[in-house]
Amino acid sequence: MIGEDPIQFDRHYEGPIICVKGLRNSFGTQVVHEGLDLEVRRGEIIGVVGGSGTGKSVLMRSIIGLQTPDEGDVKVFGQSLLGRSDAQTIEVRKRWGVLFQGGALFSTLTVAENVMVPIREFYPNMDRDFRREVAKYKVCLSGLPPDAAPKYPSELSGGMRKRAGIARALALDPDLLFLDEPTAGLDPIGAAGFDNLTRELQQTLGLTVFLITHDLDTLHAICDRVAVLADRQVIAVGTIEELLALDHPWIQQYFNGPRGRMASSGKQLA
């Protein structure tokens, strides 16, 4: 029987940051995941790839508790989260930040106010001026100029909006960052800038990053390992070199097709 007390975040935990076992998700008769396993190591940027509709976003939502799976176990920071209430998981949820597909900033709030939303939610008693200072700092950390803080999302470019989304995801100094297709819709220069930001944040803040992406350049440039979703499961996890050694048609086509070859040669030039 699970009690109502919040489960505590264990600062000394050394194991995998995310551990998904035997996950099953379905919508009506459509089975999206079946027996899906995945482990994410501390400090890595793991790229999650797969065809459109293979369940990448649903996997992320299952891990962060927005989607209740039919079966399976999800542990984050070593804590089993399934079947727990929001009140029980609050200390663990504070330790991650999320950038959803599409960015999803509140359009009626400024960038700084957007960043303050999670701070207000998790630390309602924090002094208002201090909250503002924290928000300003996060805006700078995300590579935005300070004068972006009082602007509304509609006044920003697509790339700046993504950075504002990162600033909000970093609001609570997370250990783990979830990014769902962060470079989709950005031009190549904006996308490369965002990749650099992700890598810099991971290195300087010691983050673990769960990164869903279609972007082959991103995979080559910043991912330590790549997990491939197909046939309702994670069919392979490894470095791109390790994946290329596998004889799977989707993997071969994806990494060795014309776009894949271009992305890998671009990396060698860089």
Ligand X SMILES: Nc1ncnc2c1ncn2[C@@H]1O[C@H](COP(=O)(O)OP(=O)(O)O)[C@@H](O)[C@H]1O
Residue numbers of the site for ligand X (CB under 6 A)?
27, 32, 50, 52-58
> Measured at CB, which residue is nearest to Mg ion?
57
Q: State the minimum distance, in angstroms, from the CB of residue 101 to ligand X.
A: 7
* The entry of Mg ion, ligand X, none that residue 54 binds, CB within 5 to 8 Å by partner kind: ligand X
* The entry of ligand X, Mg ion, none that residue 118 binds, CB within 5 to 8 Å by partner kind: none
* The entry of ligand X, Mg ion, none that residue 49 binds, CB within 5 to 8 Å by partner kind: none
Q: State the minimum distance, in angstroms, from the CB of residue 78 to Mg ion.
A: 27
* The entry of Mg ion, ligand X, none that residue 72 binds, CB within 5 to 8 Å by partner kind: none
Of 25, 26, 28, 33, give the one whose Cα is nearest residue 227: 33
What span, in angstroms and rounded, lies between the C-alpha atoms of 212 and 53?
Answer: 12
CA 240 to chain centre: 19
Specify the residue, 56 or 168, whose C-beta has the smaller distance to ligand X: 56
H-assigned helices in 31-122? 56-63, 86-93, 111-122
What span, in angstroms and rounded, lies between the C-alpha atoms of 193 and 188?
Answer: 8
Specify the residue, 52 or 154, whose C-beta has the smaller distance to ligand X: 52
Q: State the minimum distance, in angstroms, from the CB of residue 114 to Mg ion.
A: 22
Q: State the minimum distance, in angstroms, from the CB of residue 230 to ligand X.
A: 10
Q: Please list, residue by residue across 66-97, b when 16 or more beta carbons sit within 10 angstroms of its beta carbon and e when fewer do.
A: ebebeebebbbbbbebeebeeebbeebbbbbb
Beta strands in 137-181 (DSSP E): 176-180
* The entry of Mg ion, ligand X, none that residue 257 binds, CB within 5 to 8 Å by partner kind: none
Specify the residue, 55 or 260, whose C-beta has the smaller distance to ligand X: 55
* The entry of ligand X, Mg ion, none that residue 219 binds, CB within 5 to 8 Å by partner kind: none
User: Phi and psi (nearest 5°) for 256?
Assistant: -105, 0
* The entry of ligand X, Mg ion, none that residue 58 binds, CB within 5 to 8 Å by partner kind: ligand X
Specify the residue, 26 or 101, whose C-beta has the smaller distance to Mg ion: 101
Q: State the minimum distance, in angstroms, from the CB of residue 198 to ligand X.
A: 19
Contact residues toward Mg ion (CB under 5 A) are 56-57, 101
Specify the residue, 175 or 180, whose C-beta has the smaller distance to ligand X: 180
What span, in angstroms and rounded, lies between the C-alpha atoms of 69 and 65?
Answer: 9
What span, in angstroms and rounded, lies between the C-alpha atoms of 127 and 105?
Answer: 23
Residues 6 or more apart whose Cβ sits within 8 Å of residue 245: none
- Beta pairing partners, 79: 76
Q: State the minimum distance, in angstroms, from the CB of residue 215 to Mg ion.
A: 13
Alpha-carbon distance values, 242 to 49, 191, 224 (Å): 15, 25, 11
Specify the residue, 57 or 114, whose C-beta has the smaller distance to Mg ion: 57
Specify the residue, 42 or 214, whose C-beta has the smaller distance to ligand X: 214
Q: State the minimum distance, in angstroms, from the CB of residue 47 to ligand X.
A: 13
Tokens of 125: 């008693």
